Chains A and B, each alone.
Chain A
Amino acid sequence: MDFLNALVALSNYVLIPAIAYGSQLALGALGVTLIYGILRFSNFAHGDTMAFGTMVTILFTWWFQSMGINLGPLPTALLALPFGILGTMILVLVTDRMVYRFYRKQKAAPVIFVMVSLGVMFILNGLVRFIIGPGDQRFADGERFIMTAREFKHMTGLKEGLALKTTQGITVVTAVLVVIALFWFLNRTRTGKSMRAFSDNEDLALLSGINPERVVVYTWMIVAALITIAGVLYGLDKSFKPFTYFQLLLPIFASAIVGGLGNPVGAIAGGFVIAFSEMTITYAWKKVLVYLMPENLEPSGLVQLLSTDYKFAVSFVILIIVLLFRPTGLFKGKSV
């Protein structure tokens, strides 16, 4: 038995990637949940808006790189991120003005909004592929690791190495900062309070003189910032591909619903629940078990519960279980 090595292997292959992925999902799910709370529909264009924001950031990153601007050990994309956010904000505000506002005025049924968001999804998907192409793009530069596996082994003398990628570090730090800023905004500022009031009870909020269009504009801007950050972090950590971002829609929705739609705390918790379950269920546990089991009991196979391709199935099954037993999610969300 070698508990320390097992722990290191577990952190290296499961815990750290899951925390990074969970942070990315949480940021995406916060966007879904805010739109659901304020605009009251499930936005299917979420993944493609995320792809759009990431694409704008990548284009700026390339431009900065070509001019020789960089952040030293940090990826240049961080410098381009504000421009990406700005671009996404413009995009969502234009979309809202041209598409969604009409249906809001009409007080159309939520399902019509969902269908309209499908149309927006199509257009954004085409637009992103048109501009940057359907292929894989890697845009991370700077230092690759905060700590490599070899350095860790050297430092601790353990057999198992622990690598910490720069992107993972950046993801967690950024996510924490963004979440703190968001909660400060929602709880302390006048606009944030009016947004929460509008989400809790629309009629009452209107009666107390809250301007709904202003609330909507702020919501879109915050959502644009959140998902651009989520998309860029995911792209830095893995890679950018329009189709992958479309597919991220499912785990993001699952996170938001598992946590409780309309509840920001729930969205964060949901993101981590989904990320950890995906990672633990699709991880081949042999490496960890080898250290924990007595030699004669060592597992012969990979001890992988499900193949990695079924990671969508994991988020989906969790989603269904939560919906069946706690329809409002782990934290109390909206049930309507």
Chain B
Amino acid sequence: MSDTVKNTGLFALVAVLIIWTGYAESWNLALQILNMGLISAIMALGVNLQWGFAGLFNVGVMGFVAVGGLAAVLFSMPPVPEAFWAGGPRALGSLVVGAGVIVAAVMVMKKMAAGRKRNLLVVAVLVGGFFLFRALFDPAVDAIEAVNSASTGYMGGLGLPVILAWPLGGVLAAGVAWVIGKTALGLRSDYLAIATLGIAEIIIAVMKNEDWLARGVKNVTGIPRPFITPREIDLQKDPGFVETVTNLGLDPVTASSLYVKLSYTLLFSVVLIILFILAQRALKSPWGRMMRAIRDNEVAAMAMGKNVTKRHLQIFVLGSAICGLAGAMMTTLDGQLTPGTYQPLRFTFLIWVMVIVGGSGSNLGAILGGFLIYFFWIRVEQWGPDLMYFITSGMADDSPLKMHLIDSAAHMRLLTMGLILLLVLRFSPRGLIPEK
């Protein structure tokens, strides 16, 4: 069986699974799985770039996804002028001061000769700078949050079209990745893992607490939609639309929701296809070959005159940017930013399962893994309780064990994902579509 046949077969299998869901359950659910599958595939492409191409172990995917989501708010939400003029310039100014303090400390570190005098001066700059920063920053934040805190309480965004916010989300994530990469990439491989794990938690903590930025746990809702996506309610009011779908034998409410989901599918597919073509070209280019050479033997690549740290930084930033882009797309699809829902198991480790199962180093594999694992992630949640009902069908209905088992069956999906990861790593470490 040739590779093409096998790969086509695998993707056909995913298509059958999704269509079967639509047929047996509901087309809304099927399209929802398809849309999130597209986003998952993009995230998996980003992680595959880092791990499959360059062997970088990034366990902070969640952080970059969240930064992308934040960008969707910051760039596309309408501005809140009163809040901005109440404290915006001051808050931004003090952020600049804060950055200046760090730059000053780094300058002192680099310019002065090593010794106690330098260390003391660096500490003095940092401590003094911290208090200066807080003295400027805190009143500004209070002023912003005081403006109509129930409905806004933040500065709002720039009011750009949301499609523009997607690449900007990538840029923002790339900036964060650059800072992390600059500090952590020179270190050992598993230190990068720990550093990224930590930074992801910190990004979520910042998003939950800095209400002036994006309302924190109060959530931002009503994120604008892309230009081709109308609101369901408008479609249902549109006589032309209602007539068309009624002629097709559909009820207008369901049809409007399907129409909206399909328009997202279209947009996401375009993004995925562009990224896939780019990633494929990168893999086959001299640059991609160099990356894989570095991955397989760093010492040899260094001896050939390749700047390993620089290349690592480059691909780390690129991969994180793709995750940020996917994060912005996901927040747009949800229509809201809810920092409380970012969980490392869902947004970091699940993406890793996708990459490993699909086949690390293969772009097609990452995409397949994205669809397949997301499908199982959603479906196992439902199959778990079903299976439990079946297993416990012999027990008395009020038995506490039966009730407990059925209640906890939803947690089966974590177990299943772990099991899938371990089985693939053990018996098919190269994944479903191996790297060539």
| Minimum CB–CB distance for B27 against chain A, Å | 30
Provide the bound-state CA to CA distance between A309 and B205, in Å: 6
Within the complex, which residue of B138, B205, B408 is in contact with A310, where a contact is CB–CB below 8 Å? B205
A102 touches B194 (CB 8 A): no
For B, the interface residue count at a CB cutoff of 8 angstroms equals 45
| Minimum CB–CB distance for A55 against chain B, Å | 13
From DSSP, what is the main secondary structure of chain A's interface residues?
A: helix
Q: Which residues of A contact B352 (CB under 8 A)?
A: 115, 118
Q: Which residues of B contact A307 (CB under 8 A)?
A: 209
Provide the bound-state CA to CA distance between A123 and B419, in Å: 7
B415 touches A126 (CB 8 A): yes
A316 touches B414 (CB 8 A): no
A41 within 8 Å of B (CB atoms): yes
Taking residues whose C-beta sits less than 8 angstroms from the other chain, chain A's interface range is 35 or more
B379 within 8 Å of A (CB atoms): no
Provide the bound-state CA to CA distance between A100 and B135, in Å: 52
B190 within 8 Å of A (CB atoms): yes
A129 touches B55 (CB 8 A): no
B413 touches A119 (CB 8 A): no
| Interface mask (B196-238 → A, CB under 8 Å = 1, otherwise 0) | 0111011001001100000000000000000000000000000
| Minimum CB–CB distance for B50 against chain A, Å | 12
Within the complex, which residue of A119, A253, A305 is in contact with B194, where a contact is CB–CB below 8 Å? A253
The chain A residue with its CB closest to the CB of B55 is A111
Within the complex, which residue of A99, A116, A309 is in contact with B208, where a contact is CB–CB below 8 Å? A309
Instruction: Name the residue among A41, A257, A313 with the largest chain B CB count within 10 angstroms.
Output: A313
A130 touches B415 (CB 8 A): yes
Q: CB within 8 Å of A: which of B401-424?
A: 407-409, 411-419, 421-422
| Minimum CB–CB distance for B408 against chain A, Å | 5
Provide the bound-state CA to CA distance between A123 and B199, in Å: 24
Provide the bound-state CA to CA distance between A330 and B344, in Å: 30
Q: Which residues of A contact B417 (CB under 8 A)?
A: 122, 126
| Minimum CB–CB distance for A16 against chain B, Å | 25
Within the complex, which residue of A111, A124, A246, A309 is in contact with B189, where a contact is CB–CB below 8 Å? A111
A-contacting residues of B (Cβ < 8 Å)?
Answer: 55, 57, 59, 130, 138, 183-184, 187-191, 193-195, 197-199, 201-202, 205, 208-209, 344-345, 349, 352-353, 356, 407-409, 411-419, 421-422, 425-426
Q: Which 3 A-B residue pairings sit nearest by Cβ, starting from the closest?
A: A122-B418, A126-B414, A126-B415
A-B contacts, 28 listed (Cβ < 8 Å): A44-B59, A44-B193, A99-B422, A102-B426, A111-B57, A114-B57, A118-B349, A119-B422, A121-B418, A122-B414, A123-B419, A124-B418, A126-B413, A130-B408, A130-B415, A133-B408, A249-B197, A250-B197, A250-B198, A257-B191, A305-B130, A307-B209, A309-B205, A312-B198, A313-B205, A316-B199, A323-B184, A324-B183
Extra contacts, 19 of them, besides A122-B414, A123-B422 (Cβ < 8 A), are A42-B194, A44-B59, A102-B426, A115-B57, A119-B422, A122-B349, A122-B415, A126-B418, A129-B408, A130-B415, A133-B407, A250-B194, A254-B198, A312-B205, A315-B198, A316-B195, A319-B195, A320-B183, A323-B187
B-contacting residues of A (Cβ < 8 Å)?
Answer: 41-42, 44, 99, 102, 110-112, 114-116, 118-127, 129-131, 133-134, 246-247, 249-250, 253-254, 257, 301, 305, 307, 309-310, 312-313, 315-316, 319-320, 323-324, 327, 335-336
